[in-house]
Each structure stands twice: as C-alpha cells, then as structure tokens.
C-alpha cells in the first residue's frame, strides 16, 4: 500500500504531493515500483490546522477520480475517519476505506457496507482523531488490539463489508508508545493467528525513530527491519512511503522462505 499525502503539512514529505501534478506523478512512480494499493489521505494524522469535511473532499476526491481513470486496475484506499468523505471517495473510485481512527464515526463502517468496499479495522486506544497519546497504558496491548480490531471486523461483516476485503491494523503510534509498538511486532504471530489479514503501517513512524534514535528522514532502515520481521510472520500488507525498498524486502523475505523464486539467476548456473 503506497502512501499519497494530499496535505501541505505531512510529517514525512511536508506537502511534496499536495499539488495535483506532483500527486499524479507520485502515483505513477509508486505503482511502477510495485504498489498494488494507493492510500490517499487529505488530513494529517497528528495535530495541525483544522480541515473540515468539505476541504477534505476537495483534497482527495478529484485525485481519486484521476487515479482511478489513469490506473483502473489498482485498488484505491481513502484514509479518512468521516463517513461523508468516504462516500464521495467511493463514488470517485475508491474501493477500500482506511479508517485509522477505529470507528470514531460510527456511520463510516455502514458506508463501507452499503457500497461493499473494503475496510481497515484499526486500534487507537480510544483517543480522538488527530490527538497524541498521553501516558498510554494497557494491561496487555496485544490482547487489547486483538479484541478491538476483531470486534470491528465482525461488525464490518454484519454491515455488508466483503469479508475478503477486511484488514486488521494494530495501528502503531496511535494511542501507543514505543514499547507498545515493539510488543506488537514481537507478538505479531498472535494477530496473524486471528485469521484476519493484518495490515501494518510502520513506515518512518515515531516508534521506529525512538528505537534507533533517528529523525523522520533517517528511519528507512529501521522501518525495513521491522517490515522484514513482520513479513516473515505472515503480515499481509504494508502501508509505506518507500515502495521500491519495501518490495525488495518482501521479495527477499519470500525467497528465503521458499515462497518466491529469485528474479534473475546466473551465478554458478553455467
């Protein structure tokens, strides 16, 4: 899942794809690099300037329509917690709702069911959208994540969301500290064992930066290490900024496991 930020204040790219031309060029690049899902969001996840639903729609819907026309075979995800934004995004061509705020708008899942599109079930520890965790505590963060995300997944099915289009996402950094993020990776087998496809959004996040002591632009190596660990344990999808690097990690991991063949073998073969 390649990330396309339609925000002027993204923590990672600082608005590099806010302009339409730059956004479409980036989409072309990340699809060429191997992304099979494009996740388009119009509101920065963290605190920042207010963005109402109308502005969010203006930021994401025209680009979703353009990407859908340009790349009809690629699934488009809309990163939103608002039902009205999701409905307009689906009409424009989105086939997946990435609800990173864990059902904060109860009507959002109903929209996914109404249109029979996919849905990402997230875990935030109960915090409100665009807020940061404060003294985050869980008796058992993994158990809490499993309980909340699987309950959301079951409710999504009841709402009409196709079961095969549902992901559960432990949602690193959202309502959690770095120790929670590491624990979720350490015990990822337990999430995979639920049977629901697991999506992880690890890319350049604060828990990576705090673990390796690196600022945002220097977290790729740490992100890829976490990605390889999670991929080897059955995580189904990764939401990423660095698509080409991630594809290499996933391909190498699969080859080590014997699940994929090397792409080009000549050494010692003649």
Phi/psi at 79 (nearest 5 deg)? -90, 100
User: What pLDDT is stored for residue 261 in this prediction?
Assistant: 96
Catalytic residue among 239, 251, 259, 267: 239
pLDDT tens-digit map of 117-152: 999 999 999 899 988 888 999 999 999 999 999 999
- Whether residue 71 is predicted with pLDDT greater than 90 in this model: the reply is yes
Has 205 been annotated as catalytic? Answer: yes
Question: What is this structure's pTM?
Answer: 0.95
Which of 6, 59, 187, 205 is an active site residue?
205
Would you say 249 and 260 are in contact if contact means Cβ atoms under 8 Å apart?
Answer: no
Sign, CA torsion 50/57/105/161: negative
Q: Do 167 and 205 contact (CB within 8 A), yes or no? A: no
- What digits encode the pLDDT tens for the residues 195-217? 999 999 999 999 999 999 999 99
What secondary structure does DSSP assign to 82-144, as a single string?
A: -HHHHHHHHHHT--EEEETTTTSSTHHHHHHHHHT-EEEE---TTPPTT---SS---SSHHHH
CATH annotation of 2-257 = 3.20.20.20
239 is catalytic: yes
């Amino acid at each position: 899942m390649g990330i396309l930020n339609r925000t002027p204040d993204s923590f990672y790219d600082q608005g590099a794809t806010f302009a339409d031309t730059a956004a479409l060029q980036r989409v072309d690049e990340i699809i060429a690099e191997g992304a099979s899902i494009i996740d388009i969001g119009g509101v920065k996840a963290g605190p920042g300037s207010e963005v109402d639903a109308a502005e969010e729609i203006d930021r994401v819907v025209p680009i979703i329509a353009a990407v859908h026309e340009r790349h009809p075979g690629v699934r488009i995800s809309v990163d939103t917690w608002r039902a009205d934004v999701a409905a307009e995004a689906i009409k424009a061509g989105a086939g997946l709702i990435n609800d990173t705020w864990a059902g904060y708008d109860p009507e959002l899942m109903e929209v996914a069911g109404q249109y029979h599109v996919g849905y990402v079930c997230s875990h935030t520890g109960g915090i409100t959208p665009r807020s940061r965790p404060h003294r985050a505590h869980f008796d058992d963060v993994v158990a809490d994540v499993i309980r909340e995300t699987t309950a959301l997944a079951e409710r999504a099915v009841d709402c009409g969301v196709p079961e095969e289009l549902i992901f559960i996402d432990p949602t690193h950094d959202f309502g959690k500290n770095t120790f929670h993020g590491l624990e979720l990776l350490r015990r990822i087998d337990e999430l995979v064992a639920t049977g629901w496809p697991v999506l992880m959004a690890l890319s350049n996040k604060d828990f990576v930066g705090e673990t390796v002591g690196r600022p945002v632009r220097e977290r790729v190596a740490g992100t890829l290490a976490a990605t390889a660990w999670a991929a080897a344990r059955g995580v189904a999808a990764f939401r990423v900024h660095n698509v080409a690097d991630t594809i290499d990690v996933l391909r190498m991991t699969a080859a080590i496991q014997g699940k994929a063949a090397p792409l080009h073998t000549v050494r010692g073969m003649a």
